[in-house]
Every structure is written in C-alpha cells, then in structure tokens.
Amino acid sequence: MSTPAPAAPARSPLSPAQKALHKLGLSRDIDLALHLPLRYEDETRITALSQAREGDCIQIEARVLRSEVSLRPRRQLKVQVDDGSDTCVLRFLNFYPSHQKAFSEGAWVRVRGEVRGGLLGREMVHPSFQAAGGPLPQALTPVYPTVAQLPQAYLRKAVLGGLSRADLSETVPAQAWPEGPQRHWSLRQSLEFLHQPRPDVELAQLEDRSHPAWQRLKAEELLAQQLSQLQARQARDAMRAPALASPGQGPMARLRERLLEALPFALTRAQQRVQAQIAADLQREQPMHRLLQGDVGSGKTVVAALAALRCIEAGWQCALMAPTEILAEQHFRKLVGWLEPLGVHTAWLTGSQRASERRAALSAAESGHAHLVVGTHAVIEDKVQFSKLGLVVIDEQHRFGVAQRLALRRKTTPDEHGCELEPHLLMMSATPIPRTLAMSYYADLDVSTIDELPPGRSPIVTKVVDEARREQIVERIAQQVGLGRQVYWVCPLIEESEAVDLRNATETHAQLAQALPGHKVGLLHSRLSAAEKKAVMAEFAGAQMAVLVSTTVIEVGVDVPNASLMVIEHAERFGLSQLHQLRGRVGRGAAASACVLLYSTGDAPRLSPAARARLQAMAQTQDGFEIARRDLEIRGPGEFLGARQSGAPLLRFADLTTDAPWLEWARAWAPTMLARQPQLASRHVQRWLGGKSDFVKA
C-alpha cells in the first residue's frame, strides 16, 4: 500500500494547483507515479541557430541585441538575439514587464521554441526562456497531461515527488511474464525511465508506446482490470439468489412449454441456445449476471419472456425494465398478449400513470399478485416493493447507469434462514460489443449472443443521398405509400436553439402531409405527452397511418413489420450504432425494405471524415457486429462505452486494438494469480485502480 501524498496542513485551503491535482485524480503517491508523459521535450542540448531547419524545435543560448515594443501590426515585444552562428527574432504577443526585464539588451538567455523562417529572417513565437549558462538537464523533459491551473513545472515536481515516495515493489510474479524484452524491466525501472528518459532513447518507441517499459505498464494495467473483475465475480458468487427450478406440476408448471406451443413461430437455434444458458443460470443459487446481446430484430423479447416464465413457474416474481415509456409499453402489450392466456398476471408501472393506477400496480407487486411487473425506471424506485423478486430483466441496458442496476439488486428477499436472496439479472442489448471490448470491460459478466436473425427477413438496401435530392425521395415515398407500405421519416430532436440549421420535424411533417393527399402523416416527438405518443404509435402500428415523422424516439425496439422504408434526415448527425438501431425498424416483414440516409453538409464543402466513415459503414454492411467494430474504430472505447454505461475506469495506457495480446495474457494469468497469490493480487488492483474500481461494486 502506498502512503498518501503529504496532505496540506489541517484547514489550510487547497491551492488552485492542489485542487487541480485532485481533479486529475492524482491523490496518492502511486497515482502521481503512474501519471505518465504525453510527450517529451529535449532540453539536454544547445543547438546552433545556423544548424536549425524551419520547423525544428530547438534550444539556443544567445545574446540579446535589441528589445523593443512595436505597435504594428499589433502590440508585441520583439527581441533580436544572436547566438554567434546566426540571429533570430523572438516575438511575444502577450508579455509582462518580467519579459522586458529578462530580455534587456546584452542579456544572455536560453530560449527554446520552434524556428520559423519569417520575412526578415528566423523567428520564434512565444518561446520558453530562462537565464543562460545553468546546467543542462540529463534527461528528456516530460510533458504531462494536465488541466487549467496546473502548470507543467508544478506537475513535474509533484510527479517526481510521488515517484520517489511511492511503493513500487513488484506485484506481478516474475514467472508470470512471457518471454520478451519487458521481462528485464521492473515496475520501478519502467516508471523512472518513462518519467525521465535518457536523451539517446528511440523517441519513436516512446511515442507509439512500443518501448518495453510501456509494454510492461500496459500489461500490468490490463492485469489489474481483469483481476478486479474476477474479484467482483467472486464477491457476487458469495451472494445468494433463489434457485429457480420448475415445480413439475400445479397451475404454474409447464408455462414455457405452453408459450412455445402458442407462438406462431419456432425459436431459432440461437434463441434456443441462449435460453438454455439462461435457464441453467437461473437454477443456480448464485445470482446470474448475464448480458444477452443480439442485433436488432434478433428476437430477444421472447427469450426474456421464457426466462420470466421459468422464474414465475418457480413461484417468484419478475421485473422487466425498459428505458423509454414507448418501449416499456410495447413490451407490456406483447407480454400480456403472450402470458395472460397462461394465467400470468402482469402489472404496468410508469412515472406518468394516474395515482390510482399506480397504487394498484404497487400493491400488486407488493402482495405478489403480479407475477410480472413491466415498466420504465419507475420500477426501481424505493417505493416499489416486491413480495419475492427472483429475476430482473433490463432491456437496452446501456441506457441505464450502474446506480440503477445496483438499485434493483437491492430488492432482496430473505430466505427461511434470514439470508437475503438477490434477484438474478438479465441485461439485454442490441448494440453488440466487439470481442476485445467485451473481454476487457465486461469480463465480470456472462455473455450470451443471438447471432442469427429469424428466417424470412429481407435485406435492407441502404442509400446515402444528398439532401439536395429530397424531392425525389418524397416521390419515392408517395409510390411506396400507394402500394400500401408504411414509412418512417426520422429527424434529429427538435431543439429550439438548433432551429437555425435543423429542418425540424414539424416542417417535414407539413411538407409530407401536403405531398401525400389522402394519406395520414403522423408526427411523434419528445414534447408530446405520454398519452399523445401512445395514440400516434397505436395508429401507426394499426396501419391507419402511412407515414410517421418522428424524432429519434423510435430509435429502439419499436416493431411494425409493415413499415418497409425509412428515411433518416441529417443522417450525418447520428452516431453509427444509433443509425443501425434506427434502420433495424425496417426489414422486419417479408417486403423488400430500404433505408435512405439523407445528409447535408450545411455550409461546409463536404462531410467530415468521421461522418463520411459512418455513412459508408451503413451503406456497406448490415451486420451489427461489423458495425460495432467500425464504431469502436471511429470513436474509441471511451465514447463507445459511454461513461454512464460502463461506470468502470477506462484504460489509460493499454489500447485494445494494439495490445490485444496483453489482454489475452492478462485474462489467462488473472485467475491463477487470484487463486495462488490473493494478497498480491489485491495489492496490484489497489495500486492500479485504487478507489476507482467500480467493478467491485457493480
């Protein structure tokens, strides 16, 4: 364990720089020691001006020839210096009396900056400077990631202090390291080297982090992440959950069989496989934490229904939670349709319902009369009490935070010995997580994947179209609607402040209504009340409405198989997985389906490279995993996961695209280390993740 950084004397307020250190999360010595440079500056040598080429960043020692404040073209301090080989003008647009003093005529100065070839010879703009003649540093000067109020010089001192005080004894057993140059670098050597590399080092190896010292640190970081997730899993395995086994007979026996008999379709092989995995988990006495991932339309709902039925057969209640009212409502309808005939009672719980309705739902949950409670996040509120909650299903889990998941797990039931039983947890997601990311960030979850769509789905043809051709698209819609097809038209959210460049949904709605006489065009947006939204959706689902103009509220889960064309306006503004989710609303019936991505470059001559990459990916593939992989490539893991979703500390050093071999190594080694050297493992996690290890809690 490392000692905490020496605290400021009691009650003396923190200086802005100390506050900034805390903001960066640098509170312990080890945190400081692990705060590694972004890049380095070479202040170890003095270069002659005559040797420098344009654009070189060099350090010179020179005599001040002249120093003057000129007012044209704008107020600035101009200093002419001579180092014996050539002259150079230093320019400061912001300057203080201290600058003028340092550059008084005849002064000998050490200056460092980028050499530019100006009109009147060489110049440096805003170089750093000090008096000349002092000793030169022996190592490269590190430049650290920092924030406002935290000058590099202060940070460097703090880091070196932390480095000298921190406990850097080895936590990874020597035999764990595979063959390779990183074997010869201890943690202490690696850190000392990276903070103060010798000037003769291969800078490229430091910059691309391929140097053995970097390899060593990245491997240790990944190992800490794997260990902490294994610890979380062990902690979970120490918890108890009800073993949900079927009674074999009675009114609630055979619910699943009866549902399968009643369904108009047979389960796909993938659905059968994942439902068996879930069933096996539910029979265990440890809480299940399983992520069910499957592309949009892969049929996750019926798998969730089967899990709920197993729970209900065993005499326990199930709660199902969806992120939006529309989605929750759609689940509710579907589940009531499937389960009510089997004698299963379902309650509906949402924030917007009338007080009397809500009271009835709450009492049904509390008394146990409701076998299944479906709703929005209202389901997890403290006021909601269950009689015997055995299973929680969370749809679109990435839209919920860790806190909400935890709240549900607190709804425990005591067993006959007074031991609290936690509900099992099934999380569903239509955003498949690429393998390396799943291995790294979700190692504490079990993952089931539906990798097959139900038969009879038609491929969706995707076209990327310039906004300038909008009229043609409207004609195409008229044609489709004439054939009895239904169309989604998606607009970005209505935001008053963005009205300037957003053709808002209302305008589009008016335009389409005018272009399609005799057909009903509906409008759905976030400002409508829940009842209004419901009415609009019901008309579209019932096919009385031909076109639904909507903001992204239909993003997930909505299921209207007759809709075969989707137009997404300002497609360049949407994220890749969002586009994929949206497109998944069509192609659900037998009719050939299409998706049109309308883009506009606004005032810019062309789309940004990232926007173009997103639209291209959409046009090229329909495979959710491939889309997710490209999304990860375009956005990087931080954004891909979303801070809210992951609730986990992101990797600081390791890069999952280049360091996958270390990830494999960490995965292989972590269980052994945790079993053989649990104390060392704990110290390792503590060192690397400190208080930031949320896996342990989630």
Measured from the CB atom, the residue of 29 and 395 that comes closer to ligand ADP is 395
Compute the distance between CA of residue 566 and CA of residue 465 in angstroms, rounded to an integer.
13
Residue 301 binds ligand ADP, judged by CB under 6 A: yes
559 interface partner picked from Mg ion, ligand ADP, none, CB below 5 to 8 A per type:
ligand ADP
Query: Considering the rule CB under 6 A, would residue 265 count as an interface residue with ligand ADP?
Result: yes
287 three-class SS? coil
Query: Closer CB to ligand ADP, residue 562 or residue 677?
Result: 562
CB of 557 to ligand ADP, least distance (A): 6
Dihedrals φ, ψ of 134, to 5°?
-70, 170
Which phi and psi (to 5°) does residue 68 adopt? -145, 150
HSE on the CB side for 648, CA within 13 Å?
Answer: 25
Q: How many Å apart are CA 579 and CA 574, to the nearest integer?
A: 6
Kind and range of the H or E run holding 432: none
Sign of the Cα torsion 58, 61, 62, 68 reads positive
Q: Are strands 57-70 and 76-82 parallel, antiparallel or unpaired?
A: antiparallel
Q: Judged by CB under 6 A, does residue 593 bind ligand ADP? A: no
| d(C-alpha 147, C-alpha 154), whole Å | 12
List 320's β-bridge partners, or say none.
374, 393
Contact segment (CB under 6 A) with ligand ADP among 205-213, 265-273, 507-515, 618-626 equals 265-273
Say which DSSP state 454 is in.
Answer: P
Q: Is 432 in the site for Mg ion (CB under 5 A)?
A: no
Q: Is 123 in contact with 71 (CB distance < 8 Å)?
A: no
**Which residue, 215 or 271, is less far from ligand ADP as judged by CB?**
271
Q: How far is the CB of 2 from Mg ion (least distance, A)?
A: 47
- Figure out which of the listed residues 5, 81, 191, 302 binds ligand ADP, where binding follows CB under 6 A: 302
587 binds ligand ADP (CB under 6 A): no
Report the distance separating Cα 504 and Cα 550, nearest Å.
10
Nearer to Mg ion (CB atom), residue 18 or residue 293: 293
The whole-angstrom separation of Cα 499 and Cα 396 is 30
Neighbouring C-alpha atoms within 13 Å toward the C-beta of 412: 14
Residue 548, binding choice from Mg ion, ligand ADP, none, Cβ under 5 to 8 Å by partner class: none
Would you state the structure tokens that stand for residue 613, as one six-digit string?
A: 């990459």
Among Mg ion, ligand ADP, none, what does residue 265 contact (CB within 5–8 Å per kind)? ligand ADP
**CA-to-CA dists, residue 131 to 58, 81, 134, 210, 236, angstroms:** 16, 13, 7, 37, 61
- Residue nearer to Mg ion on the CB measure, 13 or 264: 264
For the chain, counts of helices (H) and of strands (E): 23, 24
In the complex with ligand ADP, the residue whose CB is nearer, 337 or 602, is 337
Among the residue ranges 105-113, 300-308, 399-407, 624-632, the one whose residues contact ligand ADP (CB under 6 A): 300-308
Q: Which of 299, 434, 624, 637 binds ligand ADP (CB under 6 A)?
A: 299
Query: Of 94, 174, 102, which Cα lies nearest the Cα of 132?
Result: 102
| Span from 31-39, 230-238, 262-270, 440-448 in contact with ligand ADP (CB under 6 A) | 262-270
Residues 517-556: x where in contact with ligand ADP by CB under 6 A, - otherwise, as a string: ----------------------------------------
Provide, rounded to whole angstroms, the least separation between the CB of residue 622 and Mg ion. 17
Q: Which stretch in 267-275, 348-356, 381-389, 686-694 sits in contact with ligand ADP by CB under 6 A?
A: 267-275
> Shortest gap between Cβ of 205 and Mg ion (angstroms)?
47
HSE-CB of 647 using CA atoms within 13 angstroms: 18
| Binding partner of 373, given ligand ADP, Mg ion, none, CB within 5-8 angstroms per partner class | none
Q: Classify 565 as helix, strand or coil.
A: strand
**Residues 416-435 close enough to bind ligand ADP by CB under 6 A:** 430
Minimum Å distance from CB 566 to ligand ADP?
Answer: 15
By CB under 5 A, name the one of 390, 522, 557, 584 that touches Mg ion: 557
Window of 135-143, 297-305, 417-425, 600-608 that interacts with ligand ADP by CB under 6 A: 297-305
